[in-house]
A = this chain, B = another copy of it.
Amino acid sequence: MASTSSLTLSQALLARAISHHATDQRRDSRLSLVSLPAFSGLKSTTPTASRATTTTNRRRRVSSLHVRAAAVETLDATAETSLVEKSVNTIRFLAIDAVEKANSGHPGLPMGCAPMGHILYDEVMRYNPKNPYWFNRDRFVLSAGHGCMLQYALLHLAGYDSVKEEDLKSFRQWGSRTPGHPENFETPGVEVTTGPLGQGIANAVGLALAEKHLAARFNKPDSEIVDHYTYAILGDGCQMEGISNEVCSLAAHWGLGKLIAFYDDNHISIDGDTEIAFTEDVDKRFEGLGWHVIWVKNGNTGYDEIRAAIKEAKAVKDKPTLIKVTTTIGYGSPNKANSYSVHGSALGAKEVDATRQNLGWPFEPFHVPEDVKQHWSRHIPAGAAFEAEWNTKFAEYEKKYSEEAAEFKSIMACELPTGWEKALPVSVTSTVVFALDLAMRTSLTYTPESPADATRNLSQQNLNALAKVLPGLLGGSADLASSNMTLLKMFGDFQKDTPEERNVRFGVREHGMGAICNGIALHSPGLIPYCATFFVFTDYMRAAIRISALSEAGVIYVMTHDSIGLGEDGPTHQPIEHLSSFRAMPNILMLRPADGNETAGAYKVAVLNRKRPSILALSRQKLPQLPGTSIEGVEKGGYIISDNSSGNKPDVILMGTGSELEIAAKAAEELRKEGKAVRVVSFVSWELFDEQSDAYKESVLPAAVTARVSIEAGSTFGWQKLVGSKGKAIGIDRFGASAPAGKIYKEFGITAEAVIAAAKEVS
């Protein structure tokens, strides 16, 4: 995915879709056959019909329907109410039938939200079913992810190839594209991965942020190439989660006027009526947060109310809008509607029959009536026309604004600029490091003579260097910018009135920050969000970080103050188990660089891994530049930084990471003075080391050498894998302490002396 400038955009996007499928071990063979339409891309090979013409054509196609005046400015022609109701019931029964067949799932939300779902996908949203990755599509996020059958039904009706009838029939089955919660990496057309409550609305804030940012950077008075809405549906559960309050506060602060969130106000959660735990005045809270709030009192059949609310929401440009839609969970089920029993279980054959009776639905399971099918069929040509129109617009834009267009394409398709990695600061000997000619710097490295520095500072040098060459890099900190060292000096703050800037101020909202970054990353492949706090506070945002890993969002987590080395703030602020806890997490890179070269290496790895998030654990305290470290070494995850043995047979292998690599190196020096053959290995990323060949691993950690000692200022949990049964892991298996850092290191025995003693013990 690195430097794909020789590919066309369409190839790049297609490659992206396919490479994902090819590398995933679980997906069944059918999925690798997904054929995206040839991306008409920037070459304008598709009809260049103007928007007006397209619309007219489309209208003509549905002319047999009664066409009413659209309630919402940008609304598509709507069908007559009886057909709308039929479509809405189709959605309801597709959900009912799929859950029934799987005997597992959540029918209640789709049954209640089908009206707003229908209006969004059939009348409001602009998308291209045959290219789910079309850049300027409206984004939709089902924050209440358990209701995923709503979205699958809508994608199916809209003509997405990812949700065919057989996919609906294999809902929640092994290898299907219709898993139990929406997963962007399984189902093209699903933007983000939701289910864990509150994540989706946060992702939606990230998507809307990305739109506002890109629009401000790239739109021209004569050409708005970035112009889409972000819609979300959230339920009572999402509303209760703290993360949603965090991100909704930010959404208003940033003035994300094109974010429109539907709150499915159905008064039921798993434990029963929301009265038992949720009696706040949500409207008032959102007004306090700075949102525009609208209440649709009849979400079950009030189609015009819903339409009017969307129209009003779109008219409010400077605030996000919450449309509270009062619905009945499980609407239509005579015996289970409005109860928790319809939330998360199949209705059961008897109640399904009763519901068919009640809603007058004589059809077989999974049936889509012909007139409904016919009505929705217009979205395929309409979507193609939307994209074609946009492609034409972009082609014109590219002609006039070639520089901006190149940058934009880099963001849209993740074409990293050729040679970008040369920007990585591999020397701090010059004070004009950023001004150095890039070509000159490829061979420079930090030397042991370079000044000692905290890796958090070295991180800032990297971020600032990369921001110059990576147009999609943007991010910030959860109110610790000056501690995390994350400010991009050449940019201002992303704010309501300066959305073109790239320093994002998240406030003290770690969880929301992570999930917003997931939304940014998944908006466009070339957006590279980073976010920062103290490493220990990954605990606040772990749910979001896990979703980065699961949903293949290449967020860069800049986590400073990565050990007891932070000193006086004490145990509440000192990470202990955090390195281990992330090493155990799938599909994430846990990197703990030791100095300048390794920090640059960590950033190189992080930038290249666009489908795997990276966590950089960085020191508060100064660290020396070590002999033997290198970017190339970091790319291997574990590598030898010094060795005085021969024949791959050291007397002892010392291992360390980050700030303790220095200690391992010092201990080695002492042991060598005593005549020992000592190898020192940096284990900056266990995941990358795991991916190396057996031969390489043997060259670093020969099986025959069982005398091994590791040192890391964190839990020893997991180190047995590397030190083996006969080795010794030095670490901290208790909480930290409030005192100057040096004192804690000494009291906790994280010292060269301890390494030397252990080395003698094991060898």
Query: A289: CB under 8 A from chain B?
Result: yes
Query: A499: CB under 8 A from chain B?
Result: no
Indicate if the CB atoms of A507 and B737 lie closer than 8 Å. no
Indicate if the CB atoms of B568 and A240 lie closer than 8 Å. no
Say how far A144's CB is from chain B's closest CB, in angstroms: 11
Indicate if the CB atoms of B735 and A587 lie closer than 8 Å. yes
Indicate if the CB atoms of A195 and B573 lie closer than 8 Å. yes
A180-B738, A743-B174 known; A290-B282 Cβ under 8 A: no
- Interface digits, A527-548 against B, CB 8 Å rule (1 contact, 0 not)? 0000000001101101100110
Indicate if the CB atoms of A569 and B180 lie closer than 8 Å. yes
Indicate if the CB atoms of A569 and B195 lie closer than 8 Å. yes
The 8 Å CB contact of A172, one of B253, B280, B283, B568, is B568
Interface residues of A in 159-197 (CB under 8 A from B): 172-176, 179-181, 183, 193-197
The 8 Å CB contact of A717, one of B286, B506, B718, is B718
Indicate if the CB atoms of B271 and A734 lie closer than 8 Å. no
CA distance A507 to B245 in the complex (A): 15
A252 / chain B contacts, CB cutoff of 8 Å:
279-280
Indicate if the CB atoms of B537 and A583 lie closer than 8 Å. no
Query: A490: CB under 8 A from chain B?
Result: no
Indicate if the CB atoms of A586 and B284 lie closer than 8 Å. no
- Interface digits, A439-457 against B, CB 8 Å rule (1 contact, 0 not)? 0000000000000000000
A105 / chain B contacts, CB cutoff of 8 Å:
568
A477 / chain B contacts, CB cutoff of 8 Å:
271
CA distance A482 to B269 in the complex (A): 11
A287 / chain B contacts, CB cutoff of 8 Å:
281, 284, 288
- Interface digits, A189-218 against B, CB 8 Å rule (1 contact, 0 not)? 000011111100000000000000000000
Interface residues of A in 562-587 (CB under 8 A from B): 567-573, 576-577, 580-581, 583-587
Query: A30: CB under 8 A from chain B?
Result: no
The 8 Å CB contact of A586, one of B270, B495, B542, B733, is B733
Say how far A744's CB is from chain B's closest CB, in angstroms: 7
Say how far A111's CB is from chain B's closest CB, in angstroms: 19
Query: A242: CB under 8 A from chain B?
Result: yes
The 8 Å CB contact of A284, one of B26, B288, B737, is B288
Query: A395: CB under 8 A from chain B?
Result: no
CA distance A441 to B581 in the complex (A): 41
Interface residue count on the A side (C-beta < 8 Å) = 116
Most buried by B among A270, A483, A550: A270
A284-B288, A288-B281, A717-B583 known; A509-B567 Cβ under 8 A: no
Interface residues of A in 727-763 (CB under 8 A from B): 733-735, 737-740, 743-744, 747
Say how far A385's CB is from chain B's closest CB, in angstroms: 35
Query: A52: CB under 8 A from chain B?
Result: no
Query: A468: CB under 8 A from chain B?
Result: no
A726 / chain B contacts, CB cutoff of 8 Å:
725
Say how far A441's CB is from chain B's closest CB, in angstroms: 32
Indicate if the CB atoms of A288 and B283 lie closer than 8 Å. yes
Query: A715: CB under 8 A from chain B?
Result: yes
Indicate if the CB atoms of A180 and B586 lie closer than 8 Å. no
Most buried by B among A274, A276, A493, A536: A276
Most buried by B among A195, A249, A493, A747: A249
A510 / chain B contacts, CB cutoff of 8 Å:
241
A734 / chain B contacts, CB cutoff of 8 Å:
25-26, 586-587
Query: A219: CB under 8 A from chain B?
Result: no
A587 / chain B contacts, CB cutoff of 8 Å:
734-735
The residue on B at minimum CB distance from A290 is: B280
Query: A237: CB under 8 A from chain B?
Result: yes
Indicate if the CB atoms of A281 and B270 lie closer than 8 Å. no
The 8 Å CB contact of A480, one of B271, B288, B506, B540, is B271
A196-B537, A249-B240 known; A174-B737 Cβ under 8 A: yes
The 8 Å CB contact of A253, one of B277, B509, B725, is B277
The 8 Å CB contact of A570, one of B175, B181, B743, is B181
Say how far A742's CB is from chain B's closest CB, in angstroms: 10
The 8 Å CB contact of A744, one of B174, B253, B284, is B174
The residue on B at minimum CB distance from A173 is: B739
A25 / chain B contacts, CB cutoff of 8 Å:
734
Indicate if the CB atoms of A242 and B240 lie closer than 8 Å. no
Query: A145: CB under 8 A from chain B?
Result: yes
CA distance A25 to B181 in the complex (A): 46
The residue on B at minimum CB distance from A512 is: B242
Indicate if the CB atoms of A718 and B580 lie closer than 8 Å. yes
A271-B481, A283-B288, A539-B542 known; A508-B181 Cβ under 8 A: no
Indicate if the CB atoms of B539 and A546 lie closer than 8 Å. yes
A289-B285, A724-B725, A739-B173 known; A246-B241 Cβ under 8 A: yes
CA distance A26 to B145 in the complex (A): 46
Indicate if the CB atoms of A543 and B543 lie closer than 8 Å. no
A340 / chain B contacts, CB cutoff of 8 Å:
482
A539 / chain B contacts, CB cutoff of 8 Å:
196, 542-543, 546
The residue on B at minimum CB distance from A571 is: B550
Say how far A580's CB is from chain B's closest CB, in angstroms: 4
CA distance A21 to B663 in the complex (A): 32
Interface residues of A in 674-726 (CB under 8 A from B): 706, 715, 717-718, 720-721, 724-726
A253 / chain B contacts, CB cutoff of 8 Å:
277-280
CA distance A718 to B585 in the complex (A): 12
CA distance A105 to B286 in the complex (A): 36
Query: A318: CB under 8 A from chain B?
Result: no
Interface residues of A in 206-265 (CB under 8 A from B): 236-238, 240-246, 249-250, 252-253
Besides A25-B734, A196-B536, 15 new A-B residue pairs in contact (Cβ under 8 A), listed by A number: A174-B737, A195-B572, A198-B242, A240-B246, A241-B242, A242-B242, A242-B244, A269-B479, A278-B507, A282-B288, A284-B284, A539-B543, A580-B580, A581-B581, A586-B734
Enumerate 25 A-B pairs (CB-CB under 8 Å) in ascending A order.
A26-B737, A104-B740, A105-B568, A174-B743, A174-B747, A176-B738, A181-B573, A195-B573, A196-B572, A237-B479, A240-B508, A241-B508, A270-B480, A271-B480, A279-B290, A281-B290, A285-B288, A537-B543, A539-B546, A550-B735, A581-B585, A586-B715, A586-B735, A718-B718, A725-B725
